[in-house]
Amino acid sequence: MPPRIRKLIGAVALFALVTVWALLAMAIAQFPPIFENKLIAGVYYFLAGIGWVLPAMPLIKWMSKGSVRPR
């Protein structure tokens, strides 16, 4: 697959991942144990904010595969 197509597919997939992740994070944040306790809410928002990176890393690795040009 050409790198340009791979990057297009990856960009659309990343956009979908971040959108779904944000919607799920907002829905989970409304649970009473998280919503009522500021300490738990802070930890939750920190983890939810950086948590999307883990599923995105393999996708970004796949997107960049074959895009390095030799000198």
Structural domain span for residue 51: 3-64
The DSSP letter of residue 69 is P
The answer to whether 28 touches 38, Cβ cutoff 8 Å, is no
Q: What's residue 67's pLDDT?
A: 63
- Reported as a pLDDT band with limits 50, 70 and 90, residue 71 is low
pLDDT in tens, 12-62: 999 999 999 999 999 998 988 888 889 999 999 999 999 999 999 999 999
The answer to whether residue 26 is domain-embedded is yes
Total number of domains in the chain: 1
Asked whether residue 16 is assigned to any structural domain, the reply reads: yes
Instruction: Using pLDDT thresholds of 50, 70 and 90, give the confidence band for residue 70.
Output: low
- Does 37 fall in a domain? yes
Instruction: Assess if residue 56 is contained within a domain.
Output: yes
32 is written with which tokens?
């009473």
Residue 1: the pLDDT is 81
